A and B are shown apart, each in its own frame.
Chain A
Amino acid sequence: MSHDTLAAPPRKTNEPAREPVRAPRRARHWSRRANPVAGLGAFVWLVIVLIPIYAMLSASLTGADKALTGNPLKPPADPTLDNYNTVLTSGFGHLLSNTAIVAVSVVGIVLALSIPLAYVTVRTRDRWSNAAFRLFLLGVAIPAQAVVVPLYLLIAKLDLYDTLLAVILPTAAFAMPVSVLVLVGTLRDVSEDLYEAMALDGASPLRMLFQLTVPLAKGGISTVVIFSALQAWNGFLFPLIFTQSDGPRVLTLGLFNYVSQFGVNIPALLASVVLSGIPIFTVYLVARRALIGGLMGVGGK
């Protein structure tokens, strides 16, 4: 008997498995078969995406003296790295490390504050946590521009003007609403049964958070990390208004200053843009799947 039952399942599962696996695959092909018009459209967009990037790379390799004579679409006659040299020797590393400090701090603050918040929102259903969630729901649409004047006053009163903290704190605050929404969405998917099981084990809420919720919410957490890191990386308005000196200058503001510093030296300007893209492009190459998967989830809900 044991022999029969052992032998039967593989045969049984093997046969029906063939059709369900194959059928949807064939169906997918058939319902979403190649569409030449859409393919052509996608190709046109590809060209639109690539021309500026190509022109930027090619121009950044052109000597400053030849820049104004030629068309940026022509490949440079004798490529030179001079422009990159110019940019790297004008304090680029300092800008980069400031931006890295801002990005890491923002991500840290956002995670430390948003995870407990989302956790309470999902697990505790009293009106206080509900009110907290609503606050962030409304916060999604507050544009940072709208509060930059009073924030300027606040930052000055806190004696933070012209420091990296003046950039970090407001950036983190404005990254929170979307982070909380994404996290609440993810944490809701953690089954109540699992919490009950841990409660029976006598686990404290804190232990549940770290041993159950956080490991199961990895997807949502990585989306939040990516989202807030990108915001910190791209932030321009807060650095522009809350900092002034070279010390706390971040990359985006540095690029903006290059516009006047390099003036008509457009190739050097473009070299600085290329350099500013390299760190995040490297991250993209390494973590493309996580990055894209994380951001894709934003619209999935």
Chain B
Amino acid sequence: MTVAVEKAPTAEKREGRREKRPAHHAHRAGRPHAAWALPGVLFFTFFAVVPMALALYLSFTSWDGLGDPVPVGLDNWRKLLDDPRMTQSLWLTVVLTAASWVFQTVIALLLGVWAAGRQRNRAVLSAIFFVPFLLSSTAIAILFYALLDPNFGIIQRDTLGSQSGAFLAIVFVGGWQFIPFHTLIYQGGARQIPDVLYQAAAIDGAGRYRQFFSITLPQLRHTITTSTVLMVVGSLTYFETVLILTKGGPGTDTAILPYLMYEAGFKTYDFGYASAIASSLVIAATGLSLVLVRLTGFGTMRSTREGM
């Protein structure tokens, strides 16, 4: 709104000026130098890219966090491949991410599309739906830690004590927290679908469900990929939930990769091994991001710009 209002006078001004001066100077003049990007790039490089490289380096060392790292060659990586907890953790991370994706996408997509309509009470309900997102992951984990307590809680049995119970609890708590956010994303996406499409479909005799599968879903494909990227990256950060809710337990049944890394590094002070776990996390995440960047709107963002 404000954009349109503010654009108008400047545009008029441009028309006025053009008559007086030739326009061809404008192409070069007033472009910022690429060096403007330097502070941001350096900052990000120092705190994110350098540490990634450092993680790879540390994975070839033995380091207790106090002295200096001692190179040990491939020891940590060999240990990683032989560690049954690592295999279990990797599998668990994948299954948890997949289960969270299904749970959150199905509900957020349906809620988002519903909330984009114009039913009565929709605004009020959407406002309430959003409330869980306002609590931090830590607060939410503590809330469910209390509510799932076998003595105090809503369900009077030891949910977190069983493998499936603990796993489902993490999926549910993650969903409870993040579905509001993804609902919002889908609501934004669904609002941008042109009404004409639905009108045309209705004229062709398409019913509500046909319209959903033939128009809404295909039109939301970019939103789905964006939301998926955020979900997948986000589910790698279920660390707080796991740490507070289950401490990786029962046994090691909910020890996802970040938790395993935290234990190796900051519980047993085996930072070399922790770095090997971290490096595999970086490799997986980078591979994932390369794939997803190709699939998402982020990728189109760049190509549109280049085409300008």
A298 to B260, CA, bound (A): 31
Q: Does A56 contact B (CB under 8 A)?
A: yes
Closest to B233 in A: A141
A116–B37 touching, CB < 8 Å: yes
User: Which of B40, B45, B143 has its CB near the most chain A CB atoms (within 10 A)?
Assistant: B40
Name B's A-contacting residues (CB within 8 A). Answer: 2-3, 6-7, 10-11, 13-14, 17-18, 21, 23, 25-27, 29-34, 36-37, 39-41, 43-52, 54-55, 57-58, 65, 107, 110-111, 113-119, 125, 127-132, 134-139, 142-147, 149, 151-154, 176, 179-181, 184-189, 192, 195, 198-199, 201-202, 208, 211, 222-223, 226-227, 229-230, 232-233, 236-237, 239-240, 244, 257-258, 261-262, 265-266, 271, 274-275, 278-279, 281-282, 285-286, 288-290, 292-293, 297-298, 301-302, 304-306
Q: Which residues of A contact B286 (CB under 8 A)?
A: 138, 141-142
Q: Which residues of A contact B201 (CB under 8 A)?
A: 31
Q: A28-B118, A188-B304 are in contact. Are A141 and B229 (CB under 8 A)?
A: yes
Q: Which residues of B contact A259 (CB under 8 A)?
A: 142, 145, 244
Smallest CB separation, A59 vs chain B (Å): 7
Known pairs A52-B176, A154-B46; list 20 more (Cβ under 8 Å): A30-B199, A35-B208, A39-B119, A128-B34, A129-B37, A144-B237, A147-B52, A147-B282, A148-B261, A150-B58, A176-B43, A181-B301, A184-B301, A188-B305, A197-B17, A199-B30, A200-B25, A259-B142, A299-B184, A301-B298
How many pairs of residues, A versus B, come closer than 8 Å at their CB atoms?
A: 384
Contact of A31 among B202, B222, B282 (CB under 8 A): B202
Q: Which residues of A contact B144 (CB under 8 A)?
A: 52
A141–B288 touching, CB < 8 Å: yes
User: Which of B47, B110, B145 has its CB near the most chain A CB atoms (within 10 A)?
Assistant: B47
Q: A120-B37, A299-B188 are in contact. Are A196 and B55 (CB under 8 A)?
A: no
A281–B55 touching, CB < 8 Å: no
Closest to A295 in B: B184
Interface size class of A (residues with CB under 8 A): 35 or more
Closest to A127 in B: B34
A72 to B258, CA, bound (A): 33
Closest to A288 in B: B127
Q: A132-B41, A299-B226, A301-B301 are in contact. Are A200 and B23 (CB under 8 A)?
A: yes
0/1 string, A95-119, CB within 8 A of B gives 1: 0000000000000010011101101
Closest to A281 in B: B134
Contact of B195 among A24, A68, A255 (CB under 8 A): A24
B275–A266 touching, CB < 8 Å: no
Contact of B44 among A39, A124, A136, A197 (CB under 8 A): A136
A166 to B115, CA, bound (A): 41
Q: Does A173 contact B (CB under 8 A)?
A: yes
Q: A147-B282, A153-B54, A299-B223 are in contact. Are A218 and B2 (CB under 8 A)?
A: yes
CB under 8 Å from chain B, chain A span 143-186: 143-154, 169-170, 172-174, 176-177, 180-181, 184-185
Q: Which residues of B contact A135 (CB under 8 A)?
A: 41, 44-45, 49
CB under 8 Å from chain B, chain A span 232-274: 233-234, 236-237, 241, 251-253, 255-256, 258-259, 266, 269-270, 272-273
Q: Does A126 contact B (CB under 8 A)?
A: yes
0/1 string, A48-68, CB within 8 A of B gives 1: 111111011001000000011
B143–A145 touching, CB < 8 Å: no
Q: Does A122 contact B (CB under 8 A)?
A: yes
A216–B3 touching, CB < 8 Å: yes
Contact of A128 among B27, B37, B180 (CB under 8 A): B37
A174 to B117, CA, bound (A): 35
Q: Which residues of B contact A122 (CB under 8 A)?
A: 305
Report the stretch among A14-22, A84-92, A202-210 that lies at the interface.
Answer: A202-210
A205 to B32, CA, bound (A): 5
A226 to B128, CA, bound (A): 19
A197 to B226, CA, bound (A): 35
Q: Does A11 contact B (CB under 8 A)?
A: no
Contact of A143 among B36, B187, B236, B262 (CB under 8 A): B236
Smallest CB separation, A282 vs chain B (Å): 10
Closest to B280 in A: A146
Q: Which residues of B contact A203 (CB under 8 A)?
A: 30
Q: Which residues of A contact B45 (CB under 8 A)?
A: 135
B25–A301 touching, CB < 8 Å: no
Q: Which residues of B contact A288 (CB under 8 A)?
A: 127
Q: Which residues of B contact A219 (CB under 8 A)?
A: 3
